[in-house]
Structure 1
Amino acid sequence: MSDLTQRKEEILEAVFTEREAGRDGIGDVLLAASRELTAGAAPVDLEALAKDGLATLSDGRVALTADGEKRARDIVRRHRLTERLFRDLLDVGERVMEEQACALEHILSVEATDSVCTLLGHPPTCPHGKPIPPGPCCGAYQKTLRPLVTGLPAFTLGATGRIVFIAPKFHDRMDRLAALGVIPGSTIRLHQRSPSFVIEVGETTIALDPEIAGEIYVKPVEAR
């Protein structure tokens, strides 16, 4: 676990997520952090990060140092993986998902985080479509745990699964798949991998390009 206080971790997370949105102003960061902190955030919080060597402040803007970047990245990774865990495997609602993610991002160990990531099949995005920073486990060839969620290319031929999430490179792909009934929650059966992927959704058989198939993540379910 991190040796930072929960408050400092929230501020670091705010710097990271605001930068993702293209904002690095001190006011923007403090406003974002205040949404998560009961007592709100103040300039002194950013000054504390700067004193710890985690951020730099200049001309009304804030930037992360190398150490701050690593720490913030790890916090965001834990938060977004936990969101996936509670949404995709435990089927909880948005409010509970966020509450649990906010709590667990401060206490998950590195080992537990990698285990969650592996169980989820190393998802590239959170339920809101934001990127999940990858960890060392994402590039490992040998896994100690069998993923509960896998990309369609690694799914067992002839098996039945439920689509957990889709991470398309292009937004219009999601619309085209939705028109075919290929959406999160749909039950599918994988019939073929080559030359194209062939799946059955309801009573419809659909052929998918390998690149698109690689963007679909599935959890095994028992056939009815």
Structure 2
Amino acid sequence: MADGKISENIEEYLEVLYCNGNNGEQVSTTQLSKDLNIAPGSVTQMLKKLEDLGYISYTPYKGATLTTEGMKIAQKVTRKHRILEKFLLDILKVKEENVHDQACQMEHALSDEAERAICTMLHHPDLCPDDNVIPACDFEFGSCQECFSQKDFDQVINRKFNLLSISELTANAEGTISFIRGNNELLDKITSEGIRIGQHLKYEYNENRMGNYYLVSIDDEELNITVEMANNIFIRV
């Protein structure tokens, strides 16, 4: 990451694992080899190293899953990559076909402070240009308004646990609502539904759901929420 303690190569592996299996799905060596454009034998060697470091759980001939610590690193670098893509395209007007490669080069050097500033400039975006959900920041706030009110970055504390947005969850996943992203207008929409930090949420996956809504159970009460809300409500799983 930006502090130099973790190599860019390790970050790349963890990022690909996150993009293919952020719900604990096992990602195969073949998939990693394809995405990273690295020979399977080299991928296997790195997976063993990552397991020794405590970042993944690896099963030979089957694949790897992220540990809690690996997920934390992977979410952080994935967030920086996707928010940089948004910044490069929307603010700097870089050609769309170039933003991915440029974000790849920049994500490892982007400081947490700069990431926070870009997020504020972009008004807390939820999607990158490819319409993938931007992971939540790892700052210990319940909302973006709390983050904005803290002007001194040196006073910002990092969250100790990982989050997933509702739209990233697999069927029957559940946890505690711990962060809500967005501007005042979106927060008002969410709170008007009776949704609050600290409530227990379960994602009731429904293959036959109508339109752009997610069926969830919040404190045992069923509720249909929009995709926009689902992208911006995060639970501790």
TM tier, smaller: 0.5 to 0.7
Corresponding residue number in structure 1 for 2:163: none
Which string of whole-angstrom CA distances, capped at 9 and with x for unpartnered residues, describes residues 33-53 of structure 1? 22xx69x95211111111111
Does structure 1 conserve the Cα–Cα contact (< 8 Å) formed by 2:26 and 2:64?
Answer: no
| Cα pair distance change 1:152/1:86, threshold 3 Å | farther
| Cα pair distance change 1:104/1:171, threshold 3 Å | farther
State the TM-score, normalizing by the size of structure 2: 0.56
Corresponding residue number in structure 2 for 1:51: 52
Q: How many residues align?
A: 157
Aligned with 1:88 (options 87, 90, 94): 90
Corresponding residue number in structure 2 for 1:125: 127
| Cα pair distance change 1:105/1:171, threshold 3 Å | farther
Q: 3-state DSSP class of the match of 1:140?
A: helix
State the alpha-carbon separation in 1 of the partners of residues 210 and 96 from structure 2. 22
Runs of 4+ in 1 over 3 A off after TM superposition: 20-23, 150-154, 170-173, 211-215
State the alpha-carbon separation in 2 of the partners of residues 100 and 45 from structure 1. 25
Corresponding residue number in structure 2 for 1:30: 33
Give the alignment's Cα RMSD to 1 decimal: 3.4
Between structure 1 and structure 2, the one with the greater Rg is 1
State the alpha-carbon separation in 2 of the partners of residues 41 and 142 from structure 1. 46
Q: 3-state DSSP class of the match of 2:64?
A: strand
Unaligned stretches of 5+ residues in structure 1 = 155-169, 174-210, 216-224
Which string of whole-angstrom CA distances, capped at 9 and with x for unpartnered residues, describes residues 78-131 of structure 1? 000000001111111123211220011111111111111111111011111101
Does structure 1 conserve the Cα–Cα contact (< 8 Å) formed by 2:56 and 2:64?
Answer: yes
State the TM-score, normalizing by the size of structure 1: 0.59
Corresponding residue number in structure 1 for 2:64: 62
Corresponding residue number in structure 2 for 1:16: 18
Q: Cα distance, 1:144 vs. partner?
A: 4.0
User: Identity over the aligned pairs, expressed in percent?
Assistant: 26
Q: 3-state DSSP class of the match of 1:62?
A: strand
Does structure 2 conserve the Cα–Cα contact (< 8 Å) formed by 1:12 and 1:72?
Answer: yes
Does structure 2 conserve the Cα–Cα contact (< 8 Å) formed by 1:152 and 1:213?
Answer: no
Does structure 1 conserve the Cα–Cα contact (< 8 Å) formed by 2:26 and 2:65?
Answer: no
State the alpha-carbon separation in 2 of the partners of residues 33 and 12 from structure 1. 11
Does structure 1 conserve the Cα–Cα contact (< 8 Å) formed by 2:32 and 2:43?
Answer: no
Alignment of 1:36-185 (within 5 A): 42-58=43-59, 60-135=62-137, 136=139, 138=144, 139-142=146-149, 144=151, 153=185
**More displaced stretch, 25-34 vs 49-58:** 25-34
Q: Cα distance, 1:214 vs. partner?
A: 8.7
